Amino acid sequence: MAVEQRVYDISLDAAQDLEDYQYHVMAGSGAFGCDLAGDADTDSVGVLQSKPDAAGVSAEVRRVGISQAVCGDTIPVWSKVTPDADGHIVVAAEGERYVGLAMEAGVVLQVISILMEFGTAPAIS
């Protein structure tokens, strides 16, 4: 059961139509903008909460709290997660930056809850 807890959301300008990417990891894009995160080495800024349907439309991005996120692979509970090339969350490899902890297990394209820990901290086994 995916749950959310809003603590700190920010508004950024969508770099493109992101309507189909709700609960995907976002990266910064230009001044005050966001776009789909590319991989674990991307400077991720949060998880998209809204459905901006065009470039320049305000996108609500969760930075701190509990967010829902779309799985890109099988994820065990309490794993450190990072984005893949599609902005889905996957288990972070040792040394990769991670964006949060999976609060429940999930499988490909399942929406699960993550406890967000955005920053530059690398995963350590």
> Is the pLDDT higher at 125 or at 55?
55
| Number of separate helices (H) and strands (E) present in the chain | 0, 9
Is 67 in contact with 34 (CB distance < 8 Å)? no
Instruction: Tell me the pLDDT tens digit for each residue of 94-118.
Output: 888 899 999 999 999 999 999 998 7
Query: How many other CB atoms are there within 10 angstroms of residue 74's CB atom?
Result: 13
Specify whether 107 is located in the same domain as 75.
yes
Instruction: Tell me the pLDDT tens digit for each residue of 43-92.
Output: 889 999 999 999 999 999 999 999 999 999 999 999 999 999 999 999 99
Q: For residue 125, is it within any domain?
A: no
Q: For residue 94, is it within any domain?
A: yes
Q: For residue 106, give both structure tokens.
A: 């999930």
Closest CA relative to residue 15, chosen from 44, 42, 35, 45: 35
Strands 44-48 and 80-83: unpaired
Domain that holds residue 98: 67-116
How many structural domains does the chain have? 2
